[in-house]
Chains A and B, each alone.
Chain A
Amino acid sequence: MTGAYVWIAILGITLATVLTRAGVHLAGRRLQVPPNIEALLRFAPACALAAIIAPDLVYFDGALDLSAANPRLLGGLAAVIFFAATRSMIATVSGGMAVFWLVRAWLGL
């Protein structure tokens, strides 16, 4: 995968990024967001995080797996517990990863 096609595709992806991340900031006063919309968007960060996280935890090897034999799901649940106990991001990530790897090793995956 090389040549002109790749470079044009890279430009397309860059355009998409600039448009979605900086577009609103550059629109200036031409773009008016109603205050009630702005008020309801305060819930957006948590919803976006949950929407990104959930599929990453319940899909294992490309299939939906809500069982106790899903190491990613167990790692995620462990991370929640580690966070509640320590309030530390490092402890959350390392604890969750440790459980994930242990469960995988235990299951022989």
Chain B
Amino acid sequence: MPETSVIPPGAVTPRDAFRRGVRELLPATPGIFAWGLVTGVAMVKSGLGVFEATALSLIAYAGSAQLAALPLMAAFAPIWLVTLTAVVVNLRFVVYSVITRPHFAHLPARQRAVLGFLVGDIMFARFSALIENEPEYPHRVAYYFGGASANWVIWQISSIVGIFAATTIPTSWGLELAGTLTLVALLVPLCRQRPVLAGALVAAATSIAAHDLPLRLGLLLAIVLGVVTAVAIDRRGVA
């Protein structure tokens, strides 16, 4: 990474930013671990071989898309349908990358691809909180890369533990709820502003009502309606 000027003493270095990213991701470890574990178990329980399940986890790194694709694969559904399902479940990442893109735009394509690929719901929420609260923070890419790498490592370890211990981990514990509660801890502080709270409530209600739409399209619909609501309330507040 080229440094154009000497770093003054006490200034934030890329290494500091990377460490801060890791540090702020670590409290999410129980949730990520529980989720990875449950995903690993689910892959094996739906009939995927240990080797194939490990490969899927390592190559695709796509928690919810993996889970959505599993029943289709078990039924030997056409490949295009499996792929399309994974695309639709992952569509929120397109929204996320439109937001992160200006912050990565100065980097070479390969680095942009790696940073984009490493995105997850938790680190994205952390990163958007950083750019909202500390718009002048330097080395935000290093911050993001630190947290996203930590997330990747925790996820892979837990997923592989789940794959190899699939027969000994009971699915009845409801462990996956820990992942959801981690997201609760990320959502609540965002809702202090009224437009955000209104948008989140509409998104939640839409997502519940549209739960039975195919390909988990309800998730995308919920985000769209939530954002529209938040914008409408925000504009009225200004006027």
Interface residues of A (CB under 8 A from B): 1-2, 5-10, 12-26, 28, 33, 37-38, 40-59, 64, 71-72, 75-76, 79-80, 83-84, 87-90, 92-94, 96-97, 100-101, 104
Contact A24-B97, Cβ < 8 Å, known A13-B66, A54-B208, A93-B178: yes
Contact A97-B203, Cβ < 8 Å, known A41-B95, A44-B99: no
| 9 cross-chain pairs, A with B, having the tightest CB-CB distances, nearest first | A47-B226, A16-B86, A12-B83, A51-B222, A54-B204, A22-B116, A43-B230, A50-B200, A20-B90
A1: nearest chain-B partner, CB-CB: B47
CA distance A64 to B209 in the complex (A): 10
B181 x A75 contact (CB < 8 A): yes
Contact A43-B199, Cβ < 8 Å, known A1-B73, A17-B86, A51-B206: yes
Cβ < 8 Å to A, chain B residues 73-130: 73-74, 76, 79-80, 82-84, 86-87, 90-102, 104, 109, 112-113, 115-119, 121, 124-125, 128
- In the complex, how many angstroms separate the beta carbon of A51 from the nearest chain B beta carbon? 4
CA distance A76 to B227 in the complex (A): 23
B219 x A52 contact (CB < 8 A): yes
B173: nearest chain-A partner, CB-CB: A101
- In the complex, how many angstroms separate the beta carbon of A57 from the nearest chain B beta carbon? 7
Most chain A C-beta atoms within 10 Å of own C-beta, residue among B82, B102, B109: B82
The answer to whether B165 has its CB under 8 Å from any CB of chain A is no
Question: Which chain A residues border B202 with CB–CB below 8 Å?
Answer: 47
CA distance A90 to B184 in the complex (A): 11
Interface residues of B (CB under 8 A from A): 27-28, 30-31, 46-49, 52, 55-56, 59-62, 65-66, 69, 73-74, 76, 79-80, 82-84, 86-87, 90-102, 104, 109, 112-113, 115-119, 121, 124-125, 128, 132, 174, 176-178, 180-191, 195-196, 199-208, 211, 218-219, 222-223, 226-227, 230-231, 234
- In the complex, how many angstroms separate the beta carbon of B31 from the nearest chain A beta carbon? 6
Given contacts A43-B199, A48-B92, A55-B211, 11 further A-B contacts (CB under 8 A): A2-B49, A20-B91, A21-B116, A25-B101, A43-B234, A47-B202, A49-B187, A50-B200, A90-B27, A97-B177, A100-B174
Question: Which chain B residues border A89 with CB–CB below 8 Å?
Answer: 27-28, 31, 182, 185-186
Most chain A C-beta atoms within 10 Å of own C-beta, residue among B69, B116, B121: B116
Question: Which chain B residues border A97 with CB–CB below 8 Å?
Answer: 177-178, 181
Contact A50-B203, Cβ < 8 Å, known A13-B65, A45-B190: yes
Contact A51-B180, Cβ < 8 Å, known A23-B94, A41-B99: no
- In the complex, how many angstroms separate the beta carbon of B156 from the nearest chain A beta carbon? 14
CA distance A39 to B73 in the complex (A): 39
Contact A47-B180, Cβ < 8 Å, known A13-B86, A17-B90, A21-B117: no
- In the complex, how many angstroms separate the beta carbon of B54 from the nearest chain A beta carbon? 11
A53 x B97 contact (CB < 8 A): no
